[in-house]
A = this chain, B = another copy of it.
Amino acid sequence: MIRAARNAEMPQRPSVSQPKTARGEATKKAILAAAERVIGAKGYNDASIGHITSEAGVAQGTFYIYFKTKEDVFSELVLEMGRLVRHSIAEATQGIDDRLAAEKAGLQAFLEFVQAHPDLYRIVQEALFVDPEAYQAYYSAFADGYRDGLTEAALAGQISAGDPDTRAWALMGIARALGEQLVVFKSDKPIPELVASAYDLIENGIKP
């Protein structure tokens, strides 16, 4: 058995080859899409490589041409989710100068994304157990953006003063809870109503 020195000093990721042809590209995409469906539906542990590859229509060995391990494909899905949802929100808030209005539009975009990609939502949640680093990276990226936005908005007088860290975490917690209502608890409350109620709370609080 080959025992190459295993260390943490590998700068790049040459462990598996990136696809060099259109065919390889398509196959890798098919595996990723299948993994999203299968892992989203059955969970990480009950989703076997066999399930994923048969869903993708390729042989089991093909999986290891593009991914080093089962955890690897999972990590890529978490990263993909981060990219996609950030892109969705950025697009939805494009050109909105008022922070409150932007946050509202961002929440709406987030909930619509989650409803459209319930599998990705579950995968991010499961990352806390399968790939904690990816999980923390995902939420830290969001939290940093939120916090900076809140800090700027406070300076511009668009919102009241208050600890931006805690606020960022609280607002993310609200978004996540509402997303979970849609995906996990299968609430049929329309997204615009959820957003309106939540933003009334966020803007005005619940004091009489």
Please give the residue numbers on chain A whose beta carbons come within 8 Å of chain B beta carbons, in ascending order. Answer: 43-45, 100, 122, 125-126, 128-129, 132, 135-136, 139-140, 150, 157-160, 162-163, 165-167, 169-170, 172-178, 180-181, 184-185, 189, 193-194, 197-198, 200-208
A170 touches B163 (CB 8 A): no
Instruction: Give the residue name and chain of the B residue nearest to A178 (CB).
Output: B169
State how many angstroms separate the Cβ of A47 from the closest Cβ of chain B: 11
State how many angstroms separate the Cβ of A51 from the closest Cβ of chain B: 16
Q: How long is the Cα–Cα vector from A173 to B176 in the complex, in angstroms?
A: 7
A173 touches B178 (CB 8 A): yes
Number of this chain's copies in the complex: 2
Q: Which residues of B contact A43 (CB under 8 A)?
A: 129
- Contact flag A206-B167 (CB < 8 Å), given A174-B174, A197-B162: yes
Q: Is the interface of A mostly helix, strand, loop or mixed?
A: helix
Pick the contact of A159: B125, B128, B200, B208 (CB < 8 A): B208
Q: How long is the Cα–Cα vector from A118 to B176 in the complex, in angstroms?
A: 20
Pick the contact of A201: B45, B135, B167 (CB < 8 A): B167
Q: Which residues of B contact A167 (CB under 8 A)?
A: 197, 201, 206
State how many angstroms separate the Cβ of A77 from the closest Cβ of chain B: 15
Q: How long is the Cα–Cα vector from A165 to B157 in the complex, in angstroms?
A: 31
Q: Which residues of B contact A198 (CB under 8 A)?
A: 166, 170
Pick the contact of A205: B44, B157, B201, B208 (CB < 8 A): B201
State how many angstroms separate the Cβ of A130 from the closest Cβ of chain B: 8
A162 touches B129 (CB 8 A): no
Q: How long is the Cα–Cα vector from A194 to B206 in the complex, in angstroms?
A: 18
Q: How long is the Cα–Cα vector from A165 to B136 in the complex, in angstroms?
A: 29
Interface hub of A128, A189, A205 (most chain B Cβ within 10 A)? A205
A165 touches B189 (CB 8 A): yes
